[in-house]
Structure 1
Amino acid sequence: MSHYTGADVDELLTLSRPELDRLFRAGRPGETPRGEARGTVLAARGAKVSRSVAALARLAWQGKVFDPDGAGLRNRVTPFGIPAIRARVYRDESLLDGGDCIVLDYSRTSLVAHRVRDEIRQVGPHLYLGIVYWRRRRILNFSLYSAGSHT
């Protein structure tokens, strides 16, 4: 019953945008994460550049903390991982391919990010691949490693 591609964060950092799209299409929504999920920005610009961008982005964004009931989350921002920028979490059709995904919707929960919609699908054990949209225009990819789902 495994839908996993065998992907890990290090591999995702090496992939191009078309490769990330193929992986997202192959993924499944999976279970909604609970608790902390470590985030990595995926620049899709080759391994060396992508690793540098991910390290720099970590100063501003560390990941997300999903509510225990899975219906909401807060982003972990600043180098201190302060929980802020709330989103609603639900399943819906992906803007990329119309398939089922987990949506992280900021439209009614954040003044700063109200035009942002994230979509995630599970691509490995505890690993989700995400797409960020700004006004329905795709702007970047990210991964979430849901460390809270295991010990």
Structure 2
Amino acid sequence: MAYDVQQLLDMTQQQLDELFTASPAGEIPSGEAEGTAIIAPGTRYTESIAKMINFFGWQGKVFDPANGVLKNKVSPFGIQAIVAKVYKGDSWLDQKECIVLDYSKTSVVAHWIRDEIRLISPAFYLGKVYWGKERLIDFCLKF
């Protein structure tokens, strides 16, 4: 099934978790992706919060698989900052393979953050964000 951003924004946390666990890691992506934060899934606030975050804060990621890194696009100007190492590893959610976005050794600002992504549709990834070992939010990336 092909998914889009709106479908993910309409899902509950349980539905997002089930989709993530049922999806393959996929290949490490390349290039620029438009990102959408998924906060308070399954509530009427999810879409409004996502729009506000996208405008004022985080807008997506730019992957460089040849060097095993990415940069986040932040601010209304899409500045590329906050580097992460990118590699395949086991998910903290279900211990199956995912693509890990690891900030622990590359960022002073986000060194306690770990993202995990899996391919849910062609050129479309669902992600989980961890702060330490605690799950924080979900997000999606459209290439």
Pairwise TM-score range, normalised by the shorter structure = over 0.9
Q: Which runs of 4+ in 1 moved over 4 A?
A: none
Q: TM-score, normalised by structure 2?
A: 0.95
Choose 61-70 or 72-81, whichever is displaced more: 61-70
Q: In structure 1, the residue corresponding to 2:45 is in which secondary structure?
A: helix
Compared CA separation, residues 70 and 32, structure 1 to 2 (3 A): farther
Q: TM-score, normalised by structure 1?
A: 0.90
Structure 1 counterpart of 2:115: 118
In structure 2, what is the Cα distance between the partners aligned to 1:25 and 1:45? Answer: 17
Choose 61-70 or 71-80, whichever is displaced more: 61-70
- The alignment yields a C-alpha RMSD, in angstroms, of 1.2
Compared CA separation, residues 70 and 120, structure 1 to 2 (3 A): farther
Structure 1 counterpart of 2:75: 78
Structure 2 counterpart of 1:37: 33
Structure 2 alignment gaps of length 5 or more? none
Question: How far does residue 63 in structure 1 lie from its aligned partner after superposition?
Answer: 0.3
Structure 1 counterpart of 2:20: 24
Structure 2 counterpart of 1:104: 101
Q: What's the % identity of the aligned pairs?
A: 50
Which of 111, 125, 142 aligns to 2:139? It is 142
Compared CA separation, residues 115 and 75, structure 1 to 2 (3 A): same
Q: In structure 2, the residue corresponding to 1:79 is in which secondary structure?
A: coil
Q: Does 1:46 align with 2:59?
A: no
In structure 1, what is the Cα distance between the partners aligned to 2:142 and 2:49? Answer: 18
**Aligned length in residues:** 142
